[in-house]
Amino acid sequence: MALDLMQIGVSGLRTSQKQLDVASHNITNVNTPGYSRQVVEQKADDAQWNGNSYYGTGAYIDNVSRAYDQFAARELTLSTTQLEEANVKQQHLAMLDDFTSKSAVNSVNSMNDFYHSVRSLADNPSDLGSRQTVLEHANQAAVNLNNSHETLTNIRTDVNQQLSVSLDRVNALGQELAAVNTSLQQQSSSDGSNDLFDQQRTLINELAQYTQVTVLADKGSLANTVIIGSGDTLVSGVSASQLKLVDGDPDIANKQIALINGNNSKPIKSDTIGGSLGAMLTVRDDVIDKSLDQLGQMALGFASQMNDLQQQGVDLEGQQGQALFNDINSPNAMSQRALKPFGSSSDISVKIDDINQLKIGDYQLVSDATSHTLIDQQGNKTALTANAKGKFEAKVDGLEITINKPPTLMAGETETVIIQPLRRGAADISLALTDPRGLAGHRQLTAIAAESNLGSATITKATAVSDNAAGRYQLQLNAAGDQVTVTDLKTNTNIELADNQYSAEKGATIAFKTGATSSIPVMTLSAGAKANDSFEVELGTQNAQGGNGNFLAMQQVQHQKTMADGKSSVIDLFEGLATDIGMLKKNADKLSEVNQLDFDSASERVSNLSGVNLDEEAANLMKFQQSYMASSRIMSVAKETFDTLMRAV
């Protein structure tokens, strides 16, 4: 009997000691991040038959488990990803919003200063001081656009650097998770692995800040498989893959995340990775690149319209006006708009024909051995066709894309070229005119489109129009839209034209006949006119000292809806950019607040379930201390009983 009593006391002493150990461990780790409260599962030993009944034999520790719920943990991991994605997006959008309100707005202000200086010059067109002021404001507008492009490009570079730093930490987390898996596989069972499981969950929650994480339990093993994004395995068993930032193809500046496993490299889709990595990729590709395109569209629209007006006017020397800014369709500019794969033998030029039709975004030019296809932002395809010179070309969205030399491809091979018509517009604009006398104030041709016009065609002056053609005219298309009539409004008679045919795709050159076989080109009607469209045209002499008609036309460009299919002026484009970024920031602020509430709720749920309650653990210490002392007393009683029996013998 004494021996049985001693065994029961020993079992009680051992179980109480374990209970005290676990309670102490809980208290010690109350402030340890990711720690889950441990719970002792104590059970009664099997009873033994003695005489005519069963008698208990004490207690034992069956298991030490974690207070853990996989659904609550999964909810916390998911809310961590969503919160970090929202916060990082909010931070970058706040920076871009600050850029539009403090830096990029200088570009618009300098454009408005230019228009105001032109307005002042129109009052005294021959004043050289006023002319110099116009040139200075034009140069400042170009410089500010250059600076805005550089600032945005630097922000984009910073995002790429942050991506690289984040990937280093993700790779380190992958290695740490693989090491934890190695330790778990060395365990014979889940007993004793609680702290390793907590360490694993802490690493997973940190990884969730960078990307969406899914954890799959391996059958027959305590190790887990960690999947990121929409199905890319970062950790499998005891091995971890690496994430790396690689150059884009063909746009090397468009860095992409790739999963490196041995010698294999697999690109990861940016729209499914989530977390801070997904937020940075989204801001870079959808906001910064779009902003660069919109700045480029502003610069191209501003430079193109000013150059067109300059070249239609006459300067103080009586000469045809020269471009105010550099040519937007210079050979170098047209070539830079096509980003070719490394080693490509192709030669592609992208000419801007109509600034009014320009669209934001990139195009893809896909070539094989026999054909070439242009794919726009919505996935619409346009096949390039051979022109009279045998070169493949296509006219889309105000662009004329020409393949001067096709790539050398074998059957079955393809090559993709990225077309970025707007990306470098703000970077490349610069002042070309330096002589203030070269500002063309006198406008030889003024054309006013009728309000009832349905088309988008414009009229420009031909080069060196004779003074004999001066007068006021009405240009009218017929009901079929394929013939042009020009009426002299002074005599109300029709002018005999060399060719009165009009093409809605190619436009027409209007030439007045001067004899049976001779004529003089007077004006050009661009493509895009509709049936019954009409224009009132005033032609002046070539040289008119003190003329200001062209300056007045330049001034009017400030508010004319000549961009985005006639919906915006150049200034409106910036206002649209600022509004878009402001709305994105506002939405990001709200989303961040909502995700913070979700994260707090998930954290509280996990804390309530797995967190350590010091009051509860202190009570457990007292309870198990008393149990320990009581078990010691049982052993003392057993010893005394045994001694009494021995003395009796």
**C-beta of residue 343 within 8 angstroms of C-beta of residue 408:** no
Higher pLDDT, 49 or 536: 536
Higher pLDDT, 220 or 5: 5
Residue 418 has pLDDT above 90, yes or no: yes
The amino acid at 171: N
Per residue in 481-534, pLDDT (tens digit) is: 999 999 999 999 999 999 999 998 889 999 999 888 888 999 999 988 999 999
192 pLDDT band, cuts 50/70/90, is: low
Per residue in 328-375, pLDDT (tens digit) is: 999 999 999 999 998 888 999 999 999 999 999 999 999 998 899 999
Per residue in 74-84, pLDDT (tens digit) is: 999 999 999 99
Between CA 298 and CA 563 the distance in angstroms is 9
Please report the pLDDT score of residue 387 as a whole number: 87
Helices and strands counted in the chain (H then E) = 12, 30
Per residue in 14-72, pLDDT (tens digit) is: 888 888 888 888 898 888 888 888 888 888 887 777 777 777 777 878 888 788 888 98
* DSSP string of 345-413, one letter each residue: --EEEEEE--GGG--SS-EEEEE-SS-EEEE-TT--EEE-EE-TTS-EEEEETTEEEEEEE-----TT-
Please report the pLDDT score of residue 2 as a whole number: 47
Q: Which residues, at least 6 apart from 645, have a Cβ–Cβ distance to it below 8 Å?
A: 2
CA angle 200, 201, 205 (to 5 degrees): 120
Please report the pLDDT score of residue 546 as a whole number: 63
* Domain boundary assignment for the chain: 2-67+611-648, 445-541
Query: How many Cβ atoms sit within 10 Å of the Cβ of residue 318?
Result: 12
Higher pLDDT, 634 or 232: 232
Q: Which two tokens stand for residue 43?
A: 């059970």
Q: Which two tokens stand for residue 295?
A: 């700045």
pTM of the full structure: 0.82
Continuous H helices in 405-557: 425-428, 549-556
Least confident of 253-262, 300-309, 351-360, 483-492: 253-262
Question: For 253, which DSSP code?
Answer: T
Could you tell me if residue 262 is left (phi over 0), alpha (psi between -120 and 50 degrees) or otherwise beta? left
Per residue in 585-640, pLDDT (tens digit) is: 999 999 999 999 999 999 899 888 888 888 888 888 888 888 888 878 877 877 77
The full length of the chain comes to: 649
Per residue in 141-176, pLDDT (tens digit) is: 999 999 999 999 999 999 999 999 999 999 999 999
Please report the pLDDT score of residue 544 as a whole number: 60
Between CA 261 and CA 258 the distance in angstroms is 10
Least confident of 41-45, 131-135, 216-220, 310-314: 216-220
Higher pLDDT, 295 or 51: 295
Q: What percent of the chain has pLDDT over 70?
A: 97
Burial grade of 132 (CB within 10 A; 0-12, 13-18, 19 or more): middle
- Region 460-473: mean pLDDT is 82
Q: What b-and-e string marks burial along 472-509, b requiring 16 or more CB atoms within 10 Å of the CB?
A: ebbbbbeeebeebebbeeeeeeebebbebebebeebbe
**C-beta of residue 592 within 8 angstroms of C-beta of residue 92:** no
Between CA 61 and CA 627 the distance in angstroms is 14
Give the rounded distance of the alpha carbon of 153 from its chain centre: 13
- Region 534-551: mean pLDDT is 79
Residue 208 has pLDDT above 50, yes or no: yes
Please report the pLDDT score of residue 11 as a whole number: 80
